[in-house]
Every structure is written in C-alpha cells, then in structure tokens.
Amino acid sequence: MKITDVEVIVVRQDEVKMIGDGSQDTAVVLVHTDEGITGVGEVDSAPEVVKAIVEAPSSHDQCRGLKTILMGEDPTNIEYLWYKMYYYSYYYTRRSVGIHAMSGIDIALWDITGKKYGLPVSKLLGGRFREKIPAYCSVLMPDSKKGIDELVAHHKADCNYHGYKFGWGALGESEKKDVELVEYCRKAVGDDARLMIDIGMRWTDYKYALRVAKEYEKQKLYWLEEPFAPDRTEDFGRLADNMNISLASGEEFGTMYEFKDMLDNGKVDIVQPDMSRCGGITMAKKIADMAQLRGKKLIPHAFKTGILIGATLQLIAAIPNADMLEYCAQETVLSKNLVKHHFTLDKDGNVTIPSVAGIGVELNEEILNKYRRNAK
C-alpha cells in the first residue's frame, strides 16, 4: 500500500468569534492510498497555515513540504514516517504549527493502519485498559454569576458529568473577578463536584498567580490549568511548590521534548497533550509513558470535533494512567456534526470507546462540503 495524496480541507462555520473556542473551524487531514483506504485526521491550529505547510513545495533537503515527504510511502510505517517528516522539515517543524500539521497526518496514518488490519487503533497501541471513560464538561467561562448558573443548569439537565471545567472567557481581567468567578462556579456545581479552572495562559505575574491560587484553594479545585504561557516553566514549578492544587498543562506543547521539560521542571501533576498539536498519536503515546514513569495522570486536551475525540479515546483506552475525557460542550455545528457518530454520555456520565477499525469516526460529508473553505 502506498500514499497517493495528502489533502487538507479547511472547514469553518459561517461566523467565527474571536473567543477561545477552537471548534469553530478546523483543518481536516485526509491521507489517500492506492488501495482505496483513506485515513482521517484533524489539526487544532491555524487551518490555512496547516494547509500551506502540508502542500508547500520543497526548498532544499531539510525544508520539504510534508506532502512531498510522504508521497509513495507505505502509510503503515507510522513511526518511520513521523521521524522522516520531522527530519526533512527540520527548519520549520521543530515546534508550533509544523508539529501541528504533522499531528493531523499522524492521526490519519494510524486510522489507515487500523482500517487496513480491521482493528481499532487502541489494539495497535497494545490493547485496552478500559472500554469506557468518565467525561467532564468543558466550557468557556461566562462573565457573570447569572451566566455561570444558567450554563451549569443547562449541562446538568443533559448529562451526568464527572466534573466541570471553566476556562478562558472572562478569566484574567482582574484579580477580584478571577476570584469571584470561581466562587460562583463552586456554588453552581456544588460542593462535591470536581471543579477545574483553565486560566488560558493569561496570568503574567507570578505573585498575582500565587495570591489568586491561594484563594482558589478554598474552592477545592481538582486542578488549575495553564496559569502561564508554556515557556514560563520556572513559574509553573514555583507555583506547583507553593499551592495545594494539582497543576495541569500541556495542550500548547509539541513533542516529547517540551513535555519532558514541563514534567521535570514545571512540575505539572495532570499532563494534557492535544493529539492534534503534540505530534499525533505516535507522540502522545510516548508522552503518556513519560507521565506514567513519573506517576502522573494523562488527561488529553480535546476541545475540537469528533475527529479529535475519536483519536483521543483510542489513546485513552490503551494507557493505564488515563483518568477522564475532556468533553467539549461548546455547541458549534462542527463539534456536534462533523462526524456521523456523536460521542454521547451514558447515564453514568461515561463515553464508550469505539471498537471499530481505525480511530472510529466517519466524516459527515454533507457538513464537510457545506462548510469547507477551499477546493481540493
């Protein structure tokens, strides 16, 4: 079997708001083969930039477009192809969007291999620890008590979530508001619910962060996520040493090299790789092993469409240190409808992990074609 084409389709809803909601658009990656098997992947990044990186013509030996690197290769040689892409695009894929583009391709390669051999990706990764996983509700932070109360009431009525995470949104505007909003969240979800807060990298001052974190200790957070930008490793470590809340991060990191630094020096407790950014399933499995070696939980970031959720569930099934699934509760047309099978919660708040071949998703071609923003 040989790769015959690598296609990136930019998909975007009609109106995109400048908020922290990555489910408003996406880059769908399709890897085609001469046997008629097509792998599906997704990238949570700047879709048009991802498309340019994949389709770019080669400049010289270590500055090749990703598509040119892959053409004619056997798609089941997944790890070999990961390192081939990394080496021959060395000038621009060391971190950031280059790694993001590789991630979507890597997911598609795993999907192809699973379909080729009639196995879910979790079986290719070594087998399953679980058939379902508890899910937590992940939403943007409203800017008022009323907004928080209404949001929680809406989602409590629909599902029995295992926790609630409020992130980005109105956080980071002022110290007083950061404290008040989390107090409102605790009252809304109840004393016994898991409550997680994602600052969205908006804190820039360590002393400010420590003061607010001390107030958050009163609300018994399950974790505090991304208080700083990912290059503030020293401040992550200082905060972890001086607060009594688990520290979570990882969605902005690429490759095992950045994760090693954050684990060892940033002292995070909850490791959150995003498979559409960190280097795909190949790299996410290595990161899971690194976290397991250090006694850390791995709870991937998955605030996108059903493509990423499908890939994430396959990894979660295959590792011992998974705890929960991030369930994107943003009600966008792409998060709900880009794949035919919507991952729903059962009465106990768990999501069943697909056992069909590949990553377990099928594109909704009607939605894909309706919202695509580029011709092939």
Band the pLDDT of 374: cuts 50, 70, 90: low
Residue 368 is predicted with a pLDDT of 95
Residue 95 is predicted with a pLDDT of 81
In a domain, 360, yes or no: no
In a domain, 15, yes or no: yes
164: three-class secondary structure by DSSP: strand
Mean pLDDT to the nearest integer, 52-78:
93
Question: How does DSSP classify residue 72?
Answer: T
**Within this chain, do residues 73 and 164 fall inside the same structural domain, yes or no?**
no
**Within this chain, do residues 50 and 135 fall inside the same structural domain, yes or no?**
no
**Encoding tokens for residue 155?**
């989602």
pLDDT for 93 beyond 90: no
pLDDT for 201 beyond 60: yes
**Within this chain, do residues 219 and 346 fall inside the same structural domain, yes or no?**
yes
In our burial notation (b when 16+ CB lie closer than 10 A, e otherwise), range 165-195 reads bbbbbbbbeeeeebbebbebbbebbeeebbb
In a domain, 129, yes or no: yes
Percent of the chain past pLDDT 70, that is, above it, reads 99
Which of 52-61, 103-112, 205-214 is least confident?
Answer: 52-61
- Measured distance CA(255)–CA(94) in Å, rounded: 9
**Residues 7-52: tens digit of each pLDDT:** 999 999 998 888 878 889 999 999 999 999 999 999 999 999 999 9
**Within this chain, do residues 17 and 64 fall inside the same structural domain, yes or no?**
yes
Residue 175 is predicted with a pLDDT of 96
Residue 376 is predicted with a pLDDT of 45
Please state, rounded to an integer, the average pLDDT across all residues of the chain: 94
Q: What is the CATH number of the domain that holds 42?
A: 3.30.390.10
Q: Which domain holds residue 75?
A: 3-119+365-371
- Measured distance CA(265)–CA(6) in Å, rounded: 38
Structural domain tally of the chain?
Answer: 2
CB 239 within 8 A of CB 213: yes
Q: What is the identity of the amino acid at 229? A: A
**Within this chain, do residues 233 and 314 fall inside the same structural domain, yes or no?**
yes
Q: What is the identity of the amino acid at 124? A: L
**Within this chain, do residues 42 and 131 fall inside the same structural domain, yes or no?**
no
Residue 61 is predicted with a pLDDT of 79
Residue 312 is predicted with a pLDDT of 98
In a domain, 358, yes or no: no
Residue 327 is predicted with a pLDDT of 93
pLDDT for 302 beyond 90: yes
- Measured distance CA(108)–CA(113) in Å, rounded: 9
Selection from 229-233, 277-281, 339-343 with the highest mean pLDDT? 277-281
Band the pLDDT of 224: cuts 50, 70, 90: very high
61: three-class secondary structure by DSSP: coil
**Encoding tokens for residue 230?**
């990912």
In a domain, 61, yes or no: yes
pLDDT for 158 beyond 90: no
Q: Is the torsion defined by CA of 110, 111, 116, 122 positive or negative?
A: positive
Band the pLDDT of 205: cuts 50, 70, 90: very high
Residue 166 is predicted with a pLDDT of 97
Of residues 320, 307, 248, 322, the one with CA closest to residue 276: 307
CB 286 within 8 A of CB 86: no
**Residues 274-285: tens digit of each pLDDT:** 999 999 999 999
C-alpha 38: how far from its chain's center? 22
Of residues 162, 178, 156, 273, the one with CA closest to residue 222: 162
Mean pLDDT to the nearest integer, 286-312:
96
In our burial notation (b when 16+ CB lie closer than 10 A, e otherwise), range 25-52 reads bbbbbbbbbeeebbbbbbbbbbbebbbe
pLDDT for 119 beyond 80: yes
Pairing of strands 38-43, 325-328: unpaired
**Encoding tokens for residue 46?**
């700047």
CB 31 within 8 A of CB 4: no
> What predicted TM-score, i.e. pTM, was given to this entire model?
0.96
Residue 20 is predicted with a pLDDT of 78
- Measured distance CA(339)–CA(316) in Å, rounded: 19
Q: What number of CA atoms fall less than 13 Å from residue 17's CA on the CB side?
A: 8
**Within this chain, do residues 207 and 341 fall inside the same structural domain, yes or no?**
yes
Rounded to 5°, angle at Cα 318 from 313 and 323: 65
Residue 138 is predicted with a pLDDT of 95
In a domain, 150, yes or no: yes
156: three-class secondary structure by DSSP: helix
- Measured distance CA(160)–CA(193) in Å, rounded: 11
**Within this chain, do residues 105 and 234 fall inside the same structural domain, yes or no?**
no
**Within this chain, do residues 345 and 211 fall inside the same structural domain, yes or no?**
yes
Band the pLDDT of 62: cuts 50, 70, 90: confident
CB 152 within 8 A of CB 189: yes
**Within this chain, do residues 146 and 287 fall inside the same structural domain, yes or no?**
yes
**Within this chain, do residues 129 and 100 fall inside the same structural domain, yes or no?**
no
Q: What is the CATH number of the domain that holds 248?
A: 3.20.20.120
Mean pLDDT to the nearest integer, 207-212:
98
**Within this chain, do residues 109 and 149 fall inside the same structural domain, yes or no?**
no
CA distances 194 to 149, 198, 370, Å, are 16, 13, 38
Mean pLDDT to the nearest integer, 219-234:
96
